[in-house]
């Protein structure tokens, strides 16, 4: 591939494709951020605020009740203390938010509690609260949050506070968490052991203990996780006491749309690149053709100028010899010949490329007048051109070489030279005829000369005719040129040209080939 073609390929293919890929990447990143990352981040942060508010409410309730709780011995023995304890518990903000409570003594035996909790947490599994109590023993001055017992739809949370003579536990049902964590995408709340407190949007647990899948662990800033054949975007955030909150969003449809978009882009590139290559090659060929044509046109113009400038040296030499002899015998006539020759030479080197027949005839008449001084009465020249053709355009100096050839080769056996110049319009062409009455040419020689006039290189003989034929091919194409015909006696040379008439100062072209 040429250097210019590679450069054009880079400009029109590589750069646009890279630009489209850049736009595609910007769109993917922007849409991923707008429709996945930002919603997931907003969901997990909003859920964290809700949980923090709930736990703060339960923690404050536990602190307040623990501070005002009568001694448990009095609660067990005195009705008034027992009533005071129930009043504190039922009027606490934790219980008012659909929570429940248990108050246990040092041995873990129930002192107070909601009746509906007895079978659920204590009577069925009397040793289960021990896990919570041991945590409360380790952190006597702080509120402890712990999960316990798998319930339908999740695990309930215990929010507990160590009393001086026992334990206070508020139960935060998973149903309450479900109400506060409802979000447009899935959410998961798990403890430090991987126990799922609450989950929505699917089942993300595994194993007999139904703990959170390991694929979700250690995720903080967001990641795509493959789970059970589906892809999810997971964003997690830590909350106090080892709990983690996850926002879970299925992204298979979004990733599929990206894949389809990428496929469409690649298909467009696959179709676009060959099209551009074809157009580039076509443009390169057109440019090369234009350059070639321009070069040929310049060469043709240069050759045209060269052919125009080629004046027959024999005519110039013979004319100067005539002037030399006339200077002594006929000085006035010699001066006139010099003026005629000067005009012809000036016309040959200076002037427009095209002239009318009328304008060219002025110089033809001067040329033939000089020839008549050389040949005297032996030269007979006649001109017969219709008036309507005199304003047709012809190339400058196109007639002189043909007439010169007729004068030089048109003598009859007695030495008389008869030359006739005529013109006619025929089949949309301008035909200018130059006839002589010389010995002419046989058919074979005439055919050979006609063929030589079609060559691109001049022959040693008939250089004037070849120059005219070459100029006509350069200017008008192969349809026009010279046609040679044998006469009895003599030779006829027909110049075929397109008809170009003067019309309001412009050329009216009818049949340019």
pLDDT per position as a tens digit, 140-180: 777 777 765 555 556 777 788 888 888 888 888 777 777 77
Report the candidate in 392, 336, 333 with the shortest Cα–Cα distance to residue 361: 392
- Per-residue confidence (pLDDT) for residue 507, from 0 to 100: 42
Is 137 part of any domain?
yes
Final residue in a domain of this structure, among 199, 215, 250: 250
Q: Say if residue 208 is in the same domain as residue 78.
A: yes
Is it the case that residue 295 has pLDDT exceeding 60? yes
Least confident of 10-14, 263-267, 370-374: 10-14
The full DSSP string for 330-354 is: -HHHHHHHHHHHHHHHHHHHSS-SE
Query: What are phi and psi for residue 146, nearest 5 degrees?
Result: -150, 155
Per mean pLDDT, which of 29-33, 209-213, 447-451 is the most reliable?
29-33
Average pLDDT of 120-129? 48
Q: Say if residue 329 is in the same domain as residue 235.
A: no
Q: Say if residue 440 is in the same domain as residue 319.
A: yes
461-493 residue pLDDT tens = 677 788 888 888 888 888 898 999 988 788 999
Higher pLDDT, 156 or 398: 398
Pairing of strands 211-212, 196-199: unpaired
Final residue in a domain of this structure, among 235, 250, 265: 250
Average pLDDT of 298-314? 55
Token pair in block for residue 272: 């676009």
323-364 residue pLDDT tens = 887 887 788 888 888 888 888 888 877 778 889 999 999 989
Average pLDDT of 182-199? 81
- Per-residue confidence (pLDDT) for residue 510, from 0 to 100: 39
Q: What is the CATH number of the domain that holds 420?
A: 3.30.565.10
- Per-residue confidence (pLDDT) for residue 512, from 0 to 100: 38
Domain that holds residue 401: 310-509
How far apart CA 202 and CA 55 sit, in angstroms, is 25
Least confident of 329-333, 397-401, 458-462: 458-462
Q: Say if residue 141 is in the same domain as residue 238.
A: yes
Q: Say if residue 207 is in the same domain as residue 333.
A: no
Query: Binning pLDDT at 50, 70 and 90, where does residue 385 land?
Result: very high
* Contact indicator for 493, 484 with CB cutoff of 8 Å: yes
Percent of the chain with pLDDT over 90: 15
Least confident of 98-102, 205-209, 500-504: 500-504
- Per-residue confidence (pLDDT) for residue 496, from 0 to 100: 93
Q: Say if residue 14 is in the same domain as residue 103.
A: yes
Across the beta sheet with 243-250, the strand order is 196-199, 186-190, 243-250, 230-239, 223-227
Final residue in a domain of this structure, among 234, 250, 266: 250
Is it the case that residue 184 has pLDDT exceeding 80? no
Least confident of 92-96, 249-253, 507-511: 507-511
Token pair in block for residue 191: 């403890």
Query: CA 174, 176, 180, 183 torsion: positive or negative?
Result: positive
Q: Say if residue 211 is in the same domain as residue 335.
A: no
Query: CA 482, 486, 492, 498 torsion: positive or negative?
Result: negative
Is 271 part of any domain?
no
Is 265 part of any domain?
no
- Per-residue confidence (pLDDT) for residue 434, from 0 to 100: 94
Q: Say if residue 209 is in the same domain as residue 342.
A: no
Is 290 part of any domain?
no
Q: Say if residue 317 is in the same domain as residue 168.
A: no
Report the candidate in 109, 171, 110, 164 with the shortest Cα–Cα distance to residue 137: 164
Is it the case that residue 369 has pLDDT exceeding 70? yes
Is 7 part of any domain?
yes
Is it the case that residue 392 has pLDDT exceeding 90? yes
Domain count, the chain: 2
Q: Say if residue 320 is in the same domain as residue 457.
A: yes
Higher pLDDT, 291 or 429: 429
How far apart CA 414 and CA 105 sit, in angstroms, is 161
Least confident of 64-78, 213-227, 426-440: 213-227
Query: Binning pLDDT at 50, 70 and 90, where does residue 138 land?
Result: confident
- Per-residue confidence (pLDDT) for residue 256, from 0 to 100: 92
Is 132 part of any domain?
yes
Q: Say if residue 321 is in the same domain as residue 435.
A: yes
Is 264 part of any domain?
no
* Contact indicator for 244, 211 with CB cutoff of 8 Å: no
Is 59 part of any domain?
yes
Q: Say if residue 215 is in the same domain as residue 354.
A: no
Whole-number average pLDDT of the chain: 80
Query: Binning pLDDT at 50, 70 and 90, where does residue 509 land?
Result: very low
In our burial notation (b when 16+ CB lie closer than 10 A, e otherwise), range 272-299 reads: bbeebbeebeeeeeeeeeeeeeeeeeee
Is it the case that residue 386 has pLDDT exceeding 90? yes
Average pLDDT of 395-423? 88
């Amino acid at each position: 591939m040429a250097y210019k073609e590679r450069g054009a390929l880079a400009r029109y293919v590589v750069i646009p494709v890279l630009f489209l890929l850049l736009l595609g990447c910007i769109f993917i990143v922007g849409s991923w951020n707008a429709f996945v990352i930002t919603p997931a981040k907003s969901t997990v942060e909003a859920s964290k605020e809700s949980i923090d508010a709930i736990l703060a409410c339960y923690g404050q309730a536990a602190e307040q009740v623990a501070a005002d709780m009568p001694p448990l011995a009095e609660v067990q023995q005195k009705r008034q203390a027992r009533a005071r304890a129930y009043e504190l518990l039922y009027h606490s903000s934790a219980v008012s938010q659909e929570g429940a409570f248990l108050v246990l003594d040092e041995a873990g035996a129930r002192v107070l509690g909601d009746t509906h909790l007895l079978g659920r947490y204590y009577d069925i599994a009397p040793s289960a609260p021990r896990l919570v109590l041991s945590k409360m023993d380790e952190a006597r001055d702080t509120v402890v949050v712990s999960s316990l017992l798998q319930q339908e739809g999740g695990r309930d949370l215990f929010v507990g506070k160590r009393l001086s003579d026992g334990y206070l536990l508020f139960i935060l049902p998973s149903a309450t968490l479900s109400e506060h964590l409802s979000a447009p995408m899935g959410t998961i709340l798990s403890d430090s052991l991987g126990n799922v407190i609450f989950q929505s949007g699917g089942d993300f647990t595994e194993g007999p203990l139904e703990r959170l899948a390991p694929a979700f662990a250690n995720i903080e800033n967001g990641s795509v996780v493959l789970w059970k054949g589906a892809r999810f975007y997971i964003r997690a955030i830590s909350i106090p006491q080892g709990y983690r909150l996850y926002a879970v969003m299925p992204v298979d449809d979004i990733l599929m749309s990206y894949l389809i978009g990428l496929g469409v882009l690649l298909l467009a590139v696959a179709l676009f690149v060959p099209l551009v290559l074809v157009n580039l090659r076509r443009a390169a060929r057109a440019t090369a053709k234009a350059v070639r044509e321009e070069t040929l046109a310049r060469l043709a113009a240069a050759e045209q100028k060269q052919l125009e400038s080629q004046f027959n040296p024999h005519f110039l030499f013979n004319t100067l010899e005539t002037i030399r002899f006339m200077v002594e015998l006929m000085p006035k006539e010699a001066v006139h010949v010099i003026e005629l020759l000067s005009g012809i030479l000036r016309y040959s080197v200076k002037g427009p490329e095209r002239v009318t027949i009328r304008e060219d005839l002025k110089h033809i008449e001067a040329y033939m007048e000089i020839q008549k001084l050389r040949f005297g009465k032996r030269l007979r020249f006649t001109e017969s051109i219709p008036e309507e053709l005199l304003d047709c355009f012809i190339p400058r100096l196109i007639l002189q070489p043909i007439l010169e050839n007729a004068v030089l080769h048109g003598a009859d056996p007695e030495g008389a030279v008869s030359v006739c110049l005529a013109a006619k319009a025929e089949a949309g062409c301008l035909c200018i005829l130059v006839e002589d009455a010389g010995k002419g040419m046989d058919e074979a020689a005439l055919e050979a000369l006609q063929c030589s006039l079609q060559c691109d290189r001049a022959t040693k003989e008939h250089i004037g005719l070849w120059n005219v034929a070459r100029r006509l091919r350069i200017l008008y194409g192969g349809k026009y040129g010279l046609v040679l015909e044998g006469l009895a006696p003599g030779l006829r040379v027909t110049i075929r040209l397109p008809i170009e008439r003067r019309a309001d100062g412009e050329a009216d072209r009818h049949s340019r080939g």
